Each structure stands twice: as structure tokens, then as C-alpha cells.
Structure 1
Amino acid sequence: MSAFPEIYLVRHGETEWSASGKHTGRTDIPLTPAGEEAAGRVAERLQGLSFQAVWSSPSQRAFKTCMLAGFGSAGVKKADLAEWDYGAYEGLTTKQIRIERPGWRLFRDGCP
């Protein structure tokens, strides 16, 4: 047994907004059929592993990914894992934002 725990991170499956490059934070939108399929493939990759804890963002896209990845009721929604708040940039693409703020970078410039 390792002195350090192993941590697995799984990003939620595709949504309409992620597929089109829109910034998605607190808007609670569902997975696309392709996102659901991808989440199911995660179950295949994690098969045979056991986990002491399974945490998910409270968003439906994240929790549905957790369910489809084979964790079922073991997944626990954690408010601390809620997505970034894009504020006025929610639902916009980087290209759209840079029309008003040329050179904008999320982690350098933040969101209004």
C-alpha cells in the first residue's frame, strides 16, 4: 500500500455548450448523447478498481457522468466542487469575449 492516496479525476461528458466552445459554469445543462456514451466508457476504464470515496459536483452533467461511469449511488454531491462562475461570460465563447476584451485570458483576467 502506498503512503500516498491515488486520486482519479474524471471530467463530465460533453454538453451542447462544451461541444460548441461556450464557457459553462453554473448553468446546469445536461449531457449530450455523445457525452453519455463517453461517460459509459469511463466505467470500462475503471473496471476492477475500488474507491474509498466518490465525489461529484452537484451539476447534473457531472453527477450523470458519475452515475454512467458506474458509481451509482456511491457518488456524493459536494458543493465545494461546483463549477467556476463565469458571470457575464457564461454561455459565451472565448472569441465572443475577446471582441470586447482583446487578449482576454480566464485565469489572468477573470470574469465580470
Structure 2
Amino acid sequence: MKIAIATDNGMVAAHFGRCPEYTIVDIEGKKIIKSEVIPNPGHEPGFLPRYLAEREVDCIIAGGMGPRAQGLFAQNNIETVIGVTGKVDNVVSDFINGRLQKGESSCNHGVEGHRSCDH
């Protein structure tokens, strides 16, 4: 399994599309096989779901994500886990061990778009 975590300075970023980077982690069983940090290639509607699907990502973890983006990830067979906070290393460990705490999205993307959150 491969997960992508929206990352900002070693922490889970509040918004998947506006984060400075992604931490991509390959997991087999309960072991981390590979971990790399890649820069965010840009935030255009529909681009990131395709980009991460091409990188064979199965799941994206972020603090927040709008419903349209969640739908686009679903169309690319990528699970979305939102409302996550904390250090990336702790989040990966919790994910591997089935203890990851999900919550409410830190972004509310209705008709107002990003004006309804602080991004």
C-alpha cells in the first residue's frame, strides 16, 4: 500500500492542495518500505488526484479537503482520510497500526471555495 500525506514542515497540512509537499510512504504489512518527500506540483482542480494515482497512491491523508476533491480522488480509486492532525511520523505509525484518528475536515469548501477556510 502507498499513502500520501499532505505535509507542512513535518506535520500534517491543513489542506491537501495547498500544502508545500507530500510525504509518500510505501507500506508492506506493518513495515515502512520507503518514504520520500516530494514538492507539491501545483493545485489545479482535478490535477492532484490524477498525479497521485499515476504514482500508485492508494490513500491520501490530510487535515482538510473539499467534497469535490474527495469525489475526484474516489474516481481515481484513492481513499481519502481527512481531519487528521499531528506529526507525520506519528500519523504513519497510527495508520499502520489501525489507530489513526479521523475527524472533521479543516476546510469547508462550499460555494465560497477557499474563502470559508484560512487557505
Same fold (TM over 0.5): no
Larger Rg: 1
Query: Normalized per residue, which structure has more helix?
Result: 1
TM-score (structure 2 length as normaliser): 0.29
- Choose between structure 1 and 2: higher strand proportion: 2
TM-score after normalising by structure 1? 0.30
